Amino acid sequence: MLVNIRFGQWSAKKYDKSVSGEIERHHNATNAGRYNKTLIPDAYLANIHSIVVAARGFLKEQTLPWGDNSDRLIQSTDVIDFLERFRSYKIEFEEAVAKFISKYQELKQEASFKLNSMYRESDYPSIGKLKKKFFIEVSCLPIGNIDDFRVKVDPEELDRLKSAMEKEYVSRMTDATQDIWDRVSKIVGHMARKLSDPDSIFRNSLVENVKDLIELLPKLNFFDDPAVTDVIDDMRTLIVDPDTLRTDSQIRSQVARDAQQILDRLGFSTVSAAA
């Protein structure tokens, strides 16, 4: 299935044509820029924004890219779990919005002093309109079947359409699988670099990130690619107690070599993985 996150936020910014004109007249300039007022300090909206960023990060982590319109690919069997976990972000988002709206009138009064003559009551939406500016939702749609045509077209044209769709499907499938290899190169490459340097200090997350990826990749292997299954098995050799890696130089060196071998088999170097 295809999933995506739709969200809306109030920017608390407003273009002031009058002030922009005053600045241009003062500097004898024309079309020199636009003055955007900060209606409410960014700090009061920062928490709402951070929740949206976290939700989008969750979406990206649990899915693969599909096309160029931000839709993401997910296994149908994982959708229910995804929606349940997303619900916590939605609840957190709505609580943060409610908290902001409860302070809205007070913040407007503060803004009237800070903006002074630039303050305009009309710049501020009513409570009702303000609430509608904030939302966060998930959309879920099935992927269409290439053979499922319900339009009457010429058989020859139909073949061309199906051929074009099949090529597009293969292209998107390739891009989605590449996302898997990029994740492997990033996590395994980081481990290879850290462990190859005997003086390098690392956190326990060096190993935990590999564990998390091993658990996640089977969910992302939509096309049952045996190469993905193989790399999952290979990464299991990298799961070693972090304290052992810190105290046993031989094991540390061996795990570093194992990590580099995985990268080599995939055609990555530790340098490209870093990028």
**Pairing verdict, β 13-15 and 2-8:** unpaired
Q: Which residue has the higher pLDDT, 35 or 269?
A: 35
Q: Pick the closest to residue 40 from 14, 67, 72 (CA basis).
A: 14
169-201: burial string, b at 16+ Cβ within 10 Å, e else: eeebbeebbebbeebbbebbbbbbbbbbeeeee
Read off φ and ψ for residue 28, nearest 5 degrees.
55, 50
Q: Where residue 271 falls among pLDDT bands split at 50, 70, 90?
A: very low
Cβ 256 vs Cβ 196: under 8 Å: yes
Is residue 33 left, alpha or beta, with left meaning phi > 0 and alpha meaning psi from -120 to 50?
Answer: left
Residue 269 has pLDDT above 70, yes or no: no
What pLDDT sits at residue 144? 58
The pLDDT > 70 percentage for the chain reads 85
pLDDT in tens, 132-189: 999 999 888 777 554 544 445 556 655 665 565 566 566 677 778 889 999 999 999 9
188 to each of 63, 181, 244, how far by Cα in Å?
Answer: 19, 10, 18
What pLDDT sits at residue 79? 86
What pLDDT sits at residue 184? 95
Average pLDDT, the chain: 86
What average pLDDT does range 42-70 have in this prediction? 91
What pLDDT sits at residue 168? 56
pLDDT in tens, 6-37: 999 999 998 878 776 777 677 877 777 777 89
What pLDDT sits at residue 96? 97
pLDDT in tens, 59-104: 999 999 886 678 888 888 888 899 999 999 999 999 999 999 999 9
In order, the DSSP letters of 110-171 are HHHHHHGGG--GGGSPPHHHHHHH-EEEEEEEPPPPTT---S---HHHHHHHHHHHHHHHHH
Q: What is the pTM of this model?
A: 0.69
Cβ 8 vs Cβ 78: under 8 Å: no
Q: Where residue 2 falls among pLDDT bands split at 50, 70, 90?
A: confident
The pLDDT > 90 percentage for the chain reads 60
> Which of 16-20, 209-213, 239-243 shows the lowest mean pLDDT across its residues?
16-20
